Structure 1
Amino acid sequence: MFYRKEYEKKAHGEIEKVFRDILPKHGLCVREAQIQLSHQMLDTLLGNKIALCDAGVGIGKTYAYLTASVIWRKYASALGHFSVCDHRPVTISTSSIALQKAIMQEYLPFLSKVMQESGMIQQPIQAVLRKGKEHFVCDRRLESRLQAIGHKQKNALQKQAVLKLKDICDMDAVHGLSGFDRRQVCVPKFCPSDCPGRNGCRYQQYLKRAKSRDVFFQICNHNYLLADALHRAKDYKALLADYRALVVDEAHQLPEAARQMYGKTLGVEDIEEIGRFLEKEFRRKQAKRLREAYHAFLEVFRNQAETTEPDGHSASLSVQQREALKNCLSQIRQIQQELTGGTSRWLINRLGEAEKVLAAFANQDPHYILYWKEGRNQFPVFCAISRRIPKRLQETLWSQRLPSILTSGTLKAGNGFERTRQVTGLTGESKVKEYVAESPFHYKENCLLYLPQTLKPMRKGSLGEVHMIADHIQRLIGATYGHTLVLFTSYSLMGSVCQQLRDSLPFPLIEVWRHSQEEIHRFKSLENAVLFSAGSCWEGVDFPGDMVSSLIMVKLPFAVPDPVREAEKEQYEHLEEYIQENIVPDMQKKLRQGFGRAIRTEQDTCVVSILDTRAVAGGRYHKDVLSALPECRMAKSIEDIEQFIRSRKGTEYYM
């Protein structure tokens, strides 16, 4: 016990050295909250616990967990956590490609360099980015594709992109590659072990490097992490190398990833894909029967389907639909029995998954939330989402008893972490510790919150509501001389307001529909533009400096009702209890994500306005809004906003 405490003391001493000495020497701004966060993360690893770390904007949580992980590995063998011969990596899971790239190309190379120079580590920190085989080039398929386009007329840029793949195996690193070309040259879902090009295959070489004992960090997204966990639970071949600790960054996105991974969907594209693989394995008769049976069911289903919700469709079936589904299931089960030895495991598994989805609908399986939605060409996609997602997370991730760090800027909602515990499967888990690292930014001095009392209740979507919101936005844009980001919760409302303001603003107006990165870059390149967005800009987009001096959130970001939330509601006896325990915490998290676009550096100043009668003083959710946001000064009028901006901005701001 004495030696353990001594080693733990030394480990924490090295945290101090990194953040108080090494990083500042190399020009990095280090804050006290960041140091304490890294200490908490190191304690989590040393104590083999699970930590929920809510880290405010500007904390620097990435350096905090990377440093804690490196130092933990240095002392873990001495503390008896694992032997010196144990070279399992630490897994880092994120939800965004941008963060993965930053860790691989910026954070880790810099940290490795400065820690080596200081003598704290002897070898460079090596990391590998793990993702699905569809992101990588199959050399044999590339060769065939190059022959196919060699003498054909093809877009010059696209052709050049294909040629680059001769030197670059990761297709995500090649710009201008068309979706069709990606599908033609990617590593196939079923990669035969007897492939003649296997020995020289760049993808196989990548896999070999990924499992090298020199790899310290393996980085992936949440879906890949959960797919690996599912493979392990079913005794399939693991996707990731065995790991000794887990860091889940952007952890607020983990439940949504789990909903995707622990749910089952079936559409026409899935049936067609299974049919193509049946044909490749010389099962043409079975492929034909599968397609005919499924399309016969679809014909009956579509003729009688009745929409019960605008965003999800009833899972109940008519007598005719059930009979058609029964016939389809009978054909699929018969085909399964006919697939004897020699059939690929992938094909058997896919056919089994299709059977499970349809059987869940046929039996109205109470273990699933069942609904259908419209897919491509208006064909229905059948969805069966597990009702036990938190339990599945507990079984597949946390039951491994590995030290784990879950971190994000929005894990805490209101006064606690209860909602996060609930949706991640950590309710009642005794190993969990909670920690809040408050943002170091001075919001009370640099941020003004405006909840206009001049708003009036209006019928949702009415012309009166559109005119009222457009008027408030126009006045706010004028008060800050552009430099505005307007976040909507509805594309329909955004379009209507845009129509009202498009010809009346003296500043460039840019609209972002879905995932238009080009428009976001254009906004950043302008001096005083206005950006309207309804989805992609609520989180994960950085607008530092004066480009966003006014953030306007149109409506509180309550989640749109869907079949999954309706199923959650059924678990509560009283509606108000469901709203306070589920709906409000989720709104508060989304509100904090949107608010985080306002202040990105210590020098930033911003006015944040919320155009929702429910948020103003006396409104139903006024207290919930204030408890979700950092303490700010309140503006009572447009004049207060104009005075605030004039007091903080120089003359160049208005030019």
Structure 2
Amino acid sequence: MMDNIHVNLDTKDILEKVIAEKMVMDNSTGVFIIKDCILVQSFTGKNYTYRAVNYVTGDQKYLFYKRQELIKQDYDCVIDKIKALSFYDMKQASDGSEMIDLIFRDIFPKYGFVVREDQVELSKHIYENMKDLKISLSDIAVGLGKTHAYLIAAIVHGTFARKDRFYKQTPIVITTSSIELQRSIIKEYIPEISKMLIENGIIPSPITCVLRKGKENYVCENRLKDYFQSLDPKRKRSSEYIGLQNLIQSKNIDLADAEDISGYDKRKINVKSSQCMKCSKFKTCAFQQFMKQARKSTYHFQICNHNYYLADILKRKDGRRSLLPDYQTVIIDEAHKLMDAANQMYGTTINEHEINNLMKKISPANVKKKSQNDLKNLSSEVMALNQMLFDVLADQIPNDAFSEDTEKFPTIITSRIRTLLRKMVFNIHEISQKMTYTERQFQIDIKAVLDGLNVFLLETNIYWMENPKAKGQRMLASIPEVISKELGEDLWTDKRSMILTSGTLAVDGDFSYIKHQLGMSVLSDWKINELTKLSPYHFKENCMLYIAKKMPFPNVDDEAYIQMMGEEISSLITASNGHALVLFTSYKPLRLIFQKIKKEHPNRQIIAMNRGRNTAIDEFKESKNAILFATGSMWEGVNIPGDVLSHLIIVKLPFPIPDPISDYEKSLYPDINEYLKSVLIPKMLIKLRQGVGRLIRSETDTGVISILDARAGDTGRYHQDVLHALPECRRAENIEDIQAFLNEKKAKSYFE
């Protein structure tokens, strides 16, 4: 930087542009770029000549010649000459709002982008909240381009913030729920935006970013080398052996980029916290070098997932070293998933298998000394207590509580369980005192287990059990009762701007539910700005809504209900000639109705998405007119554009399945109606909007939404709530209307 002007010495791309556009001679070289001008040098055989070229407008002027090449000490004088030119800095805006207009209205259209007024308004809204250190809640429908909106707002904010004399370089943190979005931001959005803004003189050099992930996602060079040497090439699958060999040679440390390596192998070679500090290669380790670089505040963006971001918050809260460098602005995309991440990060789990495994590692193989014998006896006793604890927990659960859709089983910490926990804590503490130098590598793991066990002796938590029938894999879990309050105190008390955005953050324009969930009651109203933007897609023209009449009340155990639902789905599938996604809220009705439809439509491709089956979505995408029966993850985050998915059939309104967390939440309300209005209905409508969002994914998509829940019908309790939550569509009175609509919208090949 010279006299507060950013000079970019990386002239390669811009030089290629001005040569390609015949602005300068082919043998020219670039000296530096300043704003929208490049200083170009040519050698005549005797002298070096210099000219300034505005690479946006094409204007240029010869400046001077020299017998010797220009040196850096001369740059200030040349910069003054360029700044005095009439064509210098022609495209600079006077403020951030004007610059956002310039980018969206003048620059982006050159590259084929369409100007969307709502997108420009959203970007300005985000920029103003960044500038004023406020909190933005924005509910932005699919297709509006919110990622471009917040990235441009952030870049413009950084550009103008630098002009402040108190400016301090800090990155902007972007946290998302999905890996796909993180990758898109890093590999597509940021490089593309950088290129466009540099070519148009808005920024002098590329935008920089770094992806932050937990240690377990990276390769430990020592563990990789030791593990590879321990393998027998004849007994190891050849593709996996070669994959590990290639990983050693490539020196790549990101496991996400490693090919042909199994999940088992990854667990054998990833970075382990307990082994880092005592490692002889700590100072030269590639992972530690990466972390040292990644922690620098010089990156424009630090990108991570919600769990990593909350882990950083918790480390700062406990006075430990932070994961991220200091920041003043956070963009939380897919913000509707932040509470799920909080339940994980603020929660505690103890795993039967992990405790047993740790005790086995600590237990000495050869007992020669009394201390070794003590250690062996103590670790054996912990393993026995561990099994007793989980047996007692599992015995608490009544048989009628088991169903394939229940994941969290309510648990009471009885006096018997408390006694077992205390004995385990005492013995593990004794183990930590008796460990020799060899076992001290497990000190961090021991502390983690002790901290976890102690949480279950508290009386202010919600407890539950997972996998109660999977002996060895059983898990006890807990979260604080006051998690929203705790989260609110941790997230909102610092003076920084927070940009929360999602396609499903509000219910009919009302943000009350998410504000309550995220503990935002600690904030004054003036601190929060809200914005809702509807989809730019033409739903009224391109989408039809059918709500079935005369359906029975949903009851998966009622054979008549399953029979009628099967008949209705069968007719709907026929009407749309397949091309359908049938969304369920649980596996039992999916399985029962799938069997019926399979028999009735033997010549159709019908795919069921089961637990652990990852190929179903790809099969459906590659099909012509298949039917996909799905639940779980298919309610959100899946993109299937085009005619393959033209009919979305929602079997039941997606009310959450009761669990210990919702049971506690319910106890905080005076009656069930208040709880229904404040929590259950908003939760259901947000999930419903996420499901509906799978259908129309572009301006040209057309299709039908069918809802088969009697409670959404004309006389149903939630009819108006459902209509207000969804985009305004054409209404179908019967299945014949669906056929007529699709005949109007689709080509003949669609029905073949």
The two structures have a TM-score, normalised by structure 2, of 0.81
Q: 1:522 aligns with which of 619, 624, 629?
A: 619
Q: 2:350 aligns with which of 266, 271, 286?
A: 266
Give the distance between the partners of 1:416 and 1:479, measured in 2 at CA. 36
Shifted more, 294-303 versus 451-460: the winner is 294-303
Structure 1 partner of 2:172: 90
| Structure-2 change in CA distance of 1:458 and 1:629 (3 Å) | closer
**8 Å CA contact retained: 2:656, 2:683:** yes
* Correspondence 1:121-520 to 2 at 5 A: 121-149=203-231, 151-166=233-248, 167=250, 168-275=252-359, 278=362, 286-302=378-394, 306=398, 309-310=401-402, 311=406, 312-317=408-413, 320-335=416-431, 346-347=444-445, 349-360=447-458, 365=459, 367-375=460-468, 376-377=470-471, 380-430=474-524, 431-457=527-553, 459-505=555-601, 506-514=603-611, 516-520=613-617
Give the distance between the partners of 1:179 and 1:383, measured in 2 at CA. 24
Deviations 1:632-653 (CA, angstroms, capped at 9, x unpaired): 1110011111110011111122
Report the secondary structure of 2:632's partner residue: coil
| Structure-2 change in CA distance of 1:445 and 1:428 (3 Å) | farther
Structure 1 partner of 2:27: none
How far the C-alpha of 1:309 sits from its partner, in A, is 4.2
How far the C-alpha of 1:198 sits from its partner, in A, is 2.6
Report the secondary structure of 1:551's partner residue: strand
Amino acid in the other structure paired with 1:373: E
Give the distance between the partners of 1:340 and 1:306, measured in 2 at CA. 44
| Structure-2 change in CA distance of 1:246 and 1:345 (3 Å) | farther
Give the distance between the partners of 1:580 and 1:337, measured in 2 at CA. 54
Structure 2 partner of 1:3: none
Give the distance between the partners of 1:574 and 1:605, measured in 2 at CA. 43
**8 Å CA contact retained: 1:415, 1:627:** no
Report the secondary structure of 2:532's partner residue: strand
**8 Å CA contact retained: 2:352, 2:390:** no
Matched, 1:538 2:635: yes
How far the C-alpha of 1:93 sits from its partner, in A, is 0.6
Matched, 1:20 2:105: yes
How far the C-alpha of 1:508 sits from its partner, in A, is 1.1
Give the distance between the partners of 1:395 and 1:327, measured in 2 at CA. 35
| Structure-2 change in CA distance of 1:465 and 1:100 (3 Å) | same
Tell me the matched-pair count: 641
**8 Å CA contact retained: 1:329, 1:359:** no
Provide runs of 4+ in structure 1 moved above 6 Å: 337-345
| Structure-2 change in CA distance of 1:344 and 1:78 (3 Å) | farther
Give the distance between the partners of 2:391 and 2:745, measured in 1 at CA. 64
Structure 1 partner of 2:668: 571
**8 Å CA contact retained: 2:506, 2:514:** yes
How far the C-alpha of 1:270 sits from its partner, in A, is 3.2
How far the C-alpha of 1:630 sits from its partner, in A, is 1.2
Amino acid in the other structure paired with 1:61: K
**8 Å CA contact retained: 2:296, 2:325:** no
Structure 2 partner of 1:4: none
Deviations 1:250-275 (CA, angstroms, capped at 9, x unpaired): 00000011011111111212313543
Report the secondary structure of 1:142's partner residue: helix
Amino acid in the other structure paired with 2:159: K
How far the C-alpha of 1:68 sits from its partner, in A, is 0.6
Amino acid in the other structure paired with 1:131: K
**8 Å CA contact retained: 1:551, 1:598:** yes
Give the distance between the partners of 1:197 and 1:146, measured in 2 at CA. 18
Report the secondary structure of 2:275's partner residue: coil
Q: 1:48 aligns with which of 119, 126, 133?
A: 133
| Structure-2 change in CA distance of 1:542 and 1:443 (3 Å) | same
Give the distance between the partners of 1:18 and 1:601, measured in 2 at CA. 23
**8 Å CA contact retained: 1:165, 1:174:** yes
Structure 2 runs not aligned, ≥5 long: 1-91, 365-370
How far the C-alpha of 1:432 sits from its partner, in A, is 1.3
**8 Å CA contact retained: 2:432, 2:443:** no
The two structures have a TM-score, normalised by structure 1, of 0.93
Give the distance between the partners of 2:681 and 2:93, measured in 1 at CA. 40
Q: Computing the radius of gyration over CA atoms, which structure comes out larger, 1 or 2?
A: 2
**8 Å CA contact retained: 1:553, 1:610:** yes
Structure 1 partner of 2:729: 632
Give the distance between the partners of 2:422 and 2:97, measured in 1 at CA. 63
Structure 2 partner of 1:104: 186
Give the distance between the partners of 2:553 and 2:397, measured in 1 at CA. 36
Give the distance between the partners of 2:452 and 2:387, measured in 1 at CA. 14
Deviations 1:224-258 (CA, angstroms, capped at 9, x unpaired): 11111111111122122222210110000000110
**8 Å CA contact retained: 1:307, 1:314:** no
**8 Å CA contact retained: 1:426, 1:432:** no
Deviations 1:202-234 (CA, angstroms, capped at 9, x unpaired): 211211221234311111111111111111111
Deviations 1:145-202 (CA, angstroms, capped at 9, x unpaired): 2222253322222222222322121111123311111011111132333422233322
**8 Å CA contact retained: 2:553, 2:711:** no
Deviations 1:404-441 (CA, angstroms, capped at 9, x unpaired): 10000000013400001011121351211111121111
How far the C-alpha of 1:515 sits from its partner, in A, is 5.2
Report the secondary structure of 1:541's partner residue: coil
| Structure-2 change in CA distance of 1:443 and 1:305 (3 Å) | closer
Deviations 1:75-108 (CA, angstroms, capped at 9, x unpaired): 113346x52xx22211111111111111111111
Amino acid in the other structure paired with 1:355: L
Give the distance between the partners of 1:240 and 1:45, measured in 2 at CA. 19
Amino acid in the other structure paired with 1:528: N
Give the distance between the partners of 1:340 and 1:432, measured in 2 at CA. 55
Structure 1 partner of 2:69: none
How far the C-alpha of 1:608 sits from its partner, in A, is 0.2
Matched, 1:548 2:645: yes
Amino acid in the other structure paired with 2:461: Y
**8 Å CA contact retained: 1:514, 1:536:** no
How far the C-alpha of 1:400 sits from its partner, in A, is 1.9
| Structure-2 change in CA distance of 1:122 and 1:414 (3 Å) | same
Where relative contact order (Cα < 8 A, 6+ residues apart) is larger, the structure is 1
Structure 1 runs not aligned, ≥5 long: 1-6
Report the secondary structure of 1:121's partner residue: coil
